[in-house]
Amino acid sequence: MSNLAITATIKISIKFIFIYILLLYFGRGDLVLAATVEPKLNEIEVQKTCLGQFTDYDNWVDSLREKNGYIKTFFLKLKYSRAAYNDVKNQLDCDVIHYTSKGVTISGYIVVPKNSKQQKIPVLIYNNGNNQHLGSITFSHMFNNIFPLANKGYIVLASQYRGTFHESKGVKDANEKFGDDVNYMLALLDLINTLPMADTANVTISGGHRRNFIAM
């Protein structure tokens, strides 16, 4: 093999390795949040808690490593430091929820600031963009987008819409019209009314990408 061919092969290999690392670093297959089931609340099943299952940062990293392997866990540790993890755990309450709308069971999250000085806390219903796996809410997504909103003083409600890898029971077509997704979002209002700390007169709805239509 000529030197030119060897050089070209090396360049191609380096390019593929670089792309692979980027996919690992920005991939969406990080740890799925799980919890212990608690009693239903007005047909909304509350599970506690997003982070309470892990005793500390090291325990969380061990769980990541078991699921994702050493390489991806290495990059996740670069993105989410021990200090950042502890800040989230100390400043926020994060619960996993399940609720039913039109025969479909939807999973989601409620994130509440722990040390708010407000008697009533404004509420933000967060609609992630896209659908299916692209619209799923992973821990990385929560860390980058949802936790910062809660740290600004909002109670944040977010749903895993139909067809994500956090499967919703009763889903037939994840690409059907958005009418049902609107109903799933509006069902969260029932939960807001059960939260004594929620300012029910101050509810904001946000949406990204295709979910802008829902927010409107």
pLDDT band at 154 (very low <50, low <70, confident <90, very high): very high
pLDDT of residue 186: 75
Higher pLDDT, 212 or 49: 49
CA 204 to chain CA mean position, Å: 18
CA angle 135, 197, 139 (to 5 degrees): 25
Overall average pLDDT of the 142-158 stretch: 91
CATH number for the domain spanning 128: value is 3.40.50
Q: Cα–chain-centroid distance for residue 2?
A: 50
pLDDT at residue 193, as a whole number: 86
Number of domains in the chain: 1
User: In this model, does residue 106 exceed pLDDT 90?
Assistant: no
Decide: 115 and 91 in contact? Cβ < 8 Å: yes
User: 98 is in which domain, residue-wise?
Assistant: 3-215
The radius of gyration of the chain's CA atoms, rounded to the nearest angstrom, is 20
Whether the predicted pLDDT of 70 surpasses 80? yes
Give the whole-angstrom CA distance, residue 208 versus residue 168.
Answer: 20
Give the model's confidence band at 151: pLDDT under 50 very low, under 70 low, under 90 confident, else very high.
very high
Whether 34 shows a pLDDT value over 50: the answer reads no
> Is residue 123 scored above 50 in pLDDT?
yes
Percent of the chain past pLDDT 70, that is, above it, reads: 57
Mean pLDDT to the nearest integer, 96-109? 79
The model's pLDDT over 78-101, given as tens digits with 9 standing for 90+, comes to 888 899 888 988 899 888 888 777
Q: What is the per-residue pLDDT for 8?
A: 47
Going edge to edge, which strands form the sheet with 92-101? Answer: 36-41, 44-48, 92-101, 104-113, 155-160, 121-127, 198-207
Q: What's at 115, amino acid-wise?
A: N
Residue 141 has pLDDT above 50, yes or no: yes
Confidence of residue 38 (pLDDT cuts 50, 70, 90): very low
Picking from 115, 134, 121, the residue whose alpha carbon sits closest to that of residue 199 is 121
Quick one: tokens of 26? Answer: 């920005």
Q: What is the DSSP string of 124-178?
A: EEEE-SSSGGGG---HHHIIIIIHHHHHTT-EEEEEE-TTSSSPPBT-S-TTS-T
